[in-house]
Amino acid sequence: MQIKFYGTRGSIPTPGADTQRYGGNTPCVLVTSQSGQQLILDSGTGIRLLGQELMAGTSELVLLLSHNHWDHIQGFPFFAPAYQAGRQIRIIPGKTLHGENDAILKQMSGEFFPVAPQQLASTIRITPMTEEQWQLGDFYIQRCPLNHPGSGSAYHISADGHTLAYVTDNELFPPEQTMTSRAQWLEFVTGVDLLIHDGQYLEADMPYKLGWGHSLVSQAVVLAKEAKVKRLVIFSHDPARTDRQLDQLAQQFSGQQPEVLMAQEGMELWC
């Protein structure tokens, strides 16, 4: 699988001189199998650039959403293939407690965005999954509930004999409601080739941000070590985290097993 990052920032886009290198767009990741099948993870503002690249194609596009918080859906109204006549777009929503499976289209009401979903030239299907695991072309997908306000879904994706886990907006040690225990997370991500995990906070953010639904970088690193994953990508950077601070974090965890990378817009990985 090839994994390319189009948006790595949590909560809100952060353009500016201090975030240029790691990027200011909110979450969007493209996964491509060896045969060329594609899966888009989340629809933050990073999906705008991806959409421009996808305009050359005609195949059905599949979006797999973690949850419907704004930073994970807000790029969709600017996703060019949605305006492409004849294009098929399938959206698989995350399993949230509110269960508003069409939230990504609801944001295109006249009050928040001028173009209504029924005016889009593409054909959009929203297909909530009832099973916890399913085959989607080359991809075998399993999901797991997020520890996050309103919950959502993490995904374990297998293709071509390799595995990826996408776990963002997840608090490994939530103070109150636990949807998935630490032991269950360990089981879910054990042995994956690539773990993309939320690392929005640092120790200095606590206890103020306890219960906000994100993890410390150090907690994600410990999980990755215990789970013997091959590589960890820290994702959903805090809006206040500068390129310099992310460089320092990369430095702090360099030379360790597993390898720890800070997600960066434009970064391409293979597993």
Distance separating alpha carbons of residues 82 and 115, to the nearest angstrom: 11
CB of 154: closest distance to Zn ion in angstroms? 12
Minimal distance in Å, beta carbon 2 to Zn ion? Answer: 26
Length reported for the chain: 271
Residue nearest to Zn ion (CB): 69
Footprint of Zn ion (CB under 5 A): 69, 169
149 vs 264 by CB, closer to Zn ion: 149
Nearer to Zn ion, 169 or 265 (CB): 169
Q: State which residue, 69 or 231, has the beta carbon closest to Zn ion.
A: 69
* Closer Cβ to Zn ion, 69 or 197, answer by number: 69
CA distance 155 to 62: 14
Helices vs strands, H then E, count in the chain: 6, 14
Q: State the Cα–Cα distance between residues 164 and 230, nearest whole angstrom.
A: 10
Reference 154, options 73, 35, 252, 41; nearest CA is 41
Shortest Å, Cβ 213 to Zn ion? 6
What's the min distance (Å) between Cβ of 123 and Zn ion? 28
Phi and psi at 65, nearest 5°, equal: -100, 145
Check: CB of residue 95 under 8 Å from CB of residue 68. no
Query: Minimal distance in Å, beta carbon 159 to Zn ion?
Result: 26
